[in-house]
Amino acid sequence: MPAGDEPGWGDCNLLLDLPTGAVNFSRISAGQSASLAHAYARFVSADPQLRANSVNCRAFQLPGPLQTDPELLSVDGLYTPLKVRSERGIELSGVNFLARLPAQGSRGEACLGVAAEHELAGPNVVENFLRVLAAHRGLELGGAVLHSAGLVFDEQAYIFVGRSNAGKTTLTRKAHQHGAMVLSDDINLLLPKAGGYQAYAIPFTGEYGRSLEHAAASPSYPVAGIILLQQARGLGVTRPGAASAIASLMVGCPFVNTDERETNTLLDNLERLVATVPVIQLQNRLENSMSEILSAVTNALSHA
């Protein structure tokens, strides 16, 4: 794990104003700064006050490539950085990087190390670092980061939750062709606000890619409902009980749902979420059109 005295990559800084709090990348090279600014253009900020209250992430050079056992970086067959709590914070080991997050997510010192300069801004490195940070910080803010497709119709966010291969990306593609705005087809942030919940565009995308930056769009949308995806032979909607809804959402909260220090907070947040936002279960098959799905969903949510 990083000791703290490793050499940096340069003397540049880049501040990202994310919905879960600001992150300042320091000691990065000009090339790394340009790559990060390109990847996260809509979140770049130069606000000095924001910088002073940000998580400061010190970039550093690893002495050589990591030899991490891939078996340790897999959960249910999906690549997941290894996360261990220490006295200094939350230590992460991933493919090509080591990192440390502050134990409390909103402020403090973090670090992120790679062996090759270009690796830092790669999706396997910085994106995973930011995902884990957002998952912990989202909990502190009373919300949750959910594996889901966040789709916006008529200024309302519909959060489709499902495991990998549940059809999120296919649904996202259909919804986009149907005129929906896509927050993300992979991971979305829900935070409480004004008696309801808002879904935030956070810079994490899945197979659907980063094609929709919607820079002119709102940074967040009110959540109209949460839809638990289930592959089935036909189209149908059921209303799960609160416990079943919480269990389904809990499975879809990456990085924090098996962290014993976070489990109770996550359960608290999910209890409030399902008590506030209607949750339905959608049985569907790949052949269902977006019109059919949307009609079933909006009809069920209006009666939920």
Partner 1 sequence: MPEAESRDRIALSSRLRHRAVGDEGVLVHLDSGRVIVVNEVGLFIIQQLAKPISRADLVQAVVDEFEVGPQEAERDMECFLDELGGEQLLAADATDPVQ
Binding site for partner 1 (CB under 8 A): 75-76, 241-244, 246-248, 250-251, 257-260, 263-264, 267, 271
CA distance 157 to 272: 18
**φ, ψ dihedrals at 95, nearest 5°:** -65, 115
Q: What beta strand segments (E) does the chain contain?
A: 12-18, 21-28, 44-45, 55-61, 74-75, 78-79, 82-86, 89-94, 97-101, 108-114, 144-153, 156-161, 181-184, 187-193, 196-200, 220-231, 236-238, 279-284
Nearest to 138 by CA among 257, 267, 20, 226: 20
User: What pairs with residue 200 in β-bridges?
Assistant: 189, 220
Report the alpha-carbon distance of residue 260 to residue 238 in Å, rounded: 32
**Residue found under tokens 């220090």:** 261
The b-or-e profile of 263-284 (16+ CB within 10 A means b, else e) is eebbeebbeebbeebbbbbbbb
> How far, CA to CA in Å, does 64 sit from each of 26, 48, 67, 146?
21, 34, 9, 34
